[in-house]
Chains A and B, each alone.
Chain A
Amino acid sequence: MSLFRKVGISCYPNISNLQVTSLGAVNQVRNATKKVSGSKTNKNDSAGRRLGPKAHEGNFVKPGQIIMRQRGSKIHPGENVKIGIDHTIYAVEPGYVRFYHDPFHPLRKYVGVSLKKDLNLPTPHFSPRVRRFGYELLTEPSEAKKEEDHMSRKEYTYQPKLEEALKAENELKSRITSEFEDALRNKFKLVLNQEDLKVALTRFYDIFQLVKIGKPVEDAKIQATYNFIHDLKLTERRAEISADEFLSKKAYFEKFFSSLDSQVTVDVDGSLIAYIAEEERQSERQRISKTLHSTYSNRVLSVKERKEVESLICTPGVFDLLQRYQLRTKYTPSVVPFSVPDSVIEITDVKNPPEGVIIQKIFDEAARSTRIVGRPREVFAFRK
């Protein structure tokens, strides 16, 4: 409204000389005293915008209440206060208005809301902030439950996927634990009571999950033991068992675990294998590495040989995940490198290559020319 009025006024410089006729037209009347030059009246101004502070020092304000109306930030926003698009400062917390200077910006004036009447602003730099919690407690149980169970649309639409994932996880767990159970019963011929068996299976599953993400087996075992003892301690904390019971159970299960570990260990693949001591494991590693190096290195391997290499690498309990990956890339790469002598075959007749040989044009950097060579099929691990 004010804008229009302003524009309207500036169109007509000399209001006093205007005459409105009966038809509504506006005429400028020239009187006897004719002015020769234009003149400034200096009367162009607008009505006051009612700027300035709306809440003064020490006033109690509620959140949203405007504290200062201004053009530009004459006064800057301080604590518990925000600034709007037209530099209006408004409170965000209920409290008392305080105008102050901030030592970090000595030339500025700040306004903030102090949450308590006796607290002065600015808060000392190294003091903890005074904050308002503000959230009301839902006392009614049904209301509380409804609020707690409430899901955002994102969470709600994701529920089917979560259920699927949980189902898959449970299926994997049951499959693995049943395999473990079979192995314990048939392979290792261990006879355990129901409770001990359950504990052992959970333990082995824990170890398996940890080993799968790359943890060394020994660390996984310690972690699984700790998990169990920690859970036991929590049952004591929850007063489900007494302190003595806890200690006795702890001792019993520690012994049980050490006896289990001396017989059984978990492999990276997820199978139970006989326990191997560290020195033996090391020597096995060296032996297999030696075999691999002597028999399978620097050669093109047939499908059968690749399987042999794979079985050697996956010998239960010898190599961990990272080592297996390294060995696989070394001995069974997806494409055998050109440096391997058997992988490159000279061919005389391009049109009729020998059977099982794929023609490839390679660029010989030394000779600076293209060579047509044959590569045995076995060079490529994944063929179309």
Chain B
Amino acid sequence: MLQAKSGVRIATRNVASFSKRFQSTSSGIWTDFSKRSASLKLNSPEVKQGLLHKINPEEGPASISDYNRRLAYHSPEDIDETFKQAYELLQQEAEVKYKEIEGYKKRLGEAKSTKEVEFLKKSIDKLLVDAEVKNPEVLYNVEYTDVELLDKSQPVYRHLLKEKWEAYDLMITMQRLEQLHMIPDTLPTLDPKVDVKVKFPHNVKEEFADWVVPGTVLPAFAVSQPPTIQIQEFETVEEKNLYSIVLVNPDTPDLKTNSYSTTLQYGLANVPLDNVDNVIDTSKLFSQGEKFTFKDYQPLVPEKNAQTQRACLWVFRQSEELTLGDIARENFDIRDFASKNNLTAVGAHIWRQRFDRSVNYVRNKYGLGEGRVFRRVRGTAPVV
């Protein structure tokens, strides 16, 4: 997560509890899981009890992790009764929506044109979101439990995650892309559709083991192995989409022109992903990496005094399966690559690197030889 992780957090007390003294809510659509996914409910009975009924004064609300603060919490007056009545009302509204969904599903079975099918599917998705978006259990799961454990096949979870993304992570990403001039130095612009998260899992230092905040300066040893890339689509993906991922360095020094050129550092194509299966991690690279890597990973190894170099990761959605020939690393034209292969840029990420004491180690590991050294201060020779 890009948001600050303050150590270990016991948001839910998930340790198995054997107490059966909990109140049951009156039966309604939100307690019925015959037609709804079980991922829409709160797993812990104590937390559920505190949320939907009365908070146990000896325990306090489950969303507060500090013990003393938890006990010191006093609920507002009349909240339990008001919550209960509001819950009943909202549940009734959700029931109405589920009935509508049944109607739409029937129509979907009889639909003929693709346009109608599309419209019906969209309507069903929207109704599924509207029916669950006010469910307190769903909202609690999104807010206080680990986001990575949520069931992304549920439209409501994707909707709420999209809201969270738009509220912070998206803004950070776009700010970094613009301010570090990744746009327009690589591709001209980006209309972000997916949440791209990158991390380097081989790291044993906690500092580098978490998701990378866009724009961070990373040392060479932290990026010496291929990254784990998570691509979260918020719209429903029925059959798997094919994705291309390209990592470029637009700051490679080109001494002939006294300017910069772009190098292709890493290239993946024809990666099948959907809403749930959304991460290219070590196990996937291990089992299927050969199939979809068209350019092996070569980490950025900035030379001494070559200044800060950007590692620009672009995620494209493919329109069809690609067959790529041999593509050279040097002088890589990403705009040409994207247009030739009919790729739409849907997400991007960026981090930076500069020369540090681990660069030579990584250079030797990848067999790149000795790095050049530049003068510390810039000369006055013009661009050729």
Contact = CB atoms under 8 A, between A and B. Distances in A.
Direct contact of A and B (CB under 8 A): yes
Interface stretch (A45-53, A70-78, A223-231, A266-274): A223-231
A237 B365 CA distance: 9
Contacts of B189: 126
B380 A94 contact: yes
B201 A133 contact: no
Nearest to A224: B202
B153 interface: no
Contact of A144 (B296, B366, B373): B373
A165 to B, nearest CB: 11
B204 A210 contact: yes
B347 interface: no
Given A62-B380, A213-B209, A129 B184 contact: yes
A228 B325 CA distance: 29
A327 B371 CA distance: 51
A135 interface: yes
B304 A127 contact: no
Contact of B255 (A133, A145, A215, A223): A133
B109 interface: no
B14 A326 contact: yes
Interface in A70-94: 93-94
Contacts of A63: 380
A330 B15 contact: yes
A174 B185 CA distance: 47
B367 A128 contact: no
A254 to B, nearest CB: 10
Contact of A238 (B188, B205, B367): B367
A55 to B, nearest CB: 15
B285 interface: yes
B286 A225 contact: yes
Interface string B242-257: 0000000010011100
A227 B14 CA distance: 33
B188 A126 contact: yes
Contacts, number: 144
A371 interface: no
B379 interface: yes
A95 interface: yes
Contacts of B376: 147
A135 B379 contact: yes
B367 A234 contact: yes
A135 B282 contact: no
A148 B304 CA distance: 6
B304 A323 contact: no
A132 B58 CA distance: 67
Contacts of B380: 62-63, 94, 134
Residue among B18, B283, B373 with max Cβ neighbours from chain A (10 Å): B373
Interface stretch (A28-36, A181-189, A285-293): A285-293
Given A116-B383, A223-B202, A230 B15 contact: no
Contacts of B15: 289, 323, 326-327, 330
Interface residues of A, number: 61
B221 to A, nearest CB: 13
Nearest to A366: B57
A95 B259 CA distance: 13
Contacts of A59: none
B381 interface: yes
Contact of A339 (B17, B58, B283, B365): B58
A127 B8 contact: no
Contacts of A339: 58
Residue among A129, A136, A214, A326 with max Cβ neighbours from chain B (10 Å): A136
A248 to B, nearest CB: 17
Contacts of A93: 382
Nearest to B207: A213
A70 B250 CA distance: 37
A337 interface: yes
Interface in B1-45: 8, 10, 13-18
Given A223-B202, A326-B10, A330-B15, A126 B382 contact: no
B42 to A, nearest CB: 17
Contacts of B10: 325-326, 329
B337 interface: no
Contacts of A62: 380
Nearest to B307: A135
A159 B304 CA distance: 19
A127 B185 CA distance: 7
Interface in B272-290: 282-283, 285-286
Interface string B359-375: 00000011100011111
B260 interface: yes
B186 interface: yes
B115 interface: no
Contact of B379 (A115, A136, A239, A327): A136
Contacts of A209: 204
Nearest to A323: B15
Interface string B180-212: 010011101100000000000110111001000
B177 to A, nearest CB: 14
Contacts of B67: 329, 333, 337
A115 B383 contact: yes
A130 interface: yes
A11 interface: no
Nearest to B289: A226
A95 B373 contact: no
15 contacts: A95-B383, A126-B189, A128-B250, A131-B260, A132-B383, A138-B372, A144-B372, A145-B373, A213-B205, A213-B209, A226-B202, A227-B202, A230-B225, A238-B367, A322-B8
Given A93-B382, A222-B282, 15 more contacts: A62-B380, A94-B381, A116-B383, A126-B189, A128-B184, A135-B305, A137-B372, A148-B373, A206-B204, A215-B201, A215-B209, A223-B282, A226-B285, A234-B365, A238-B366
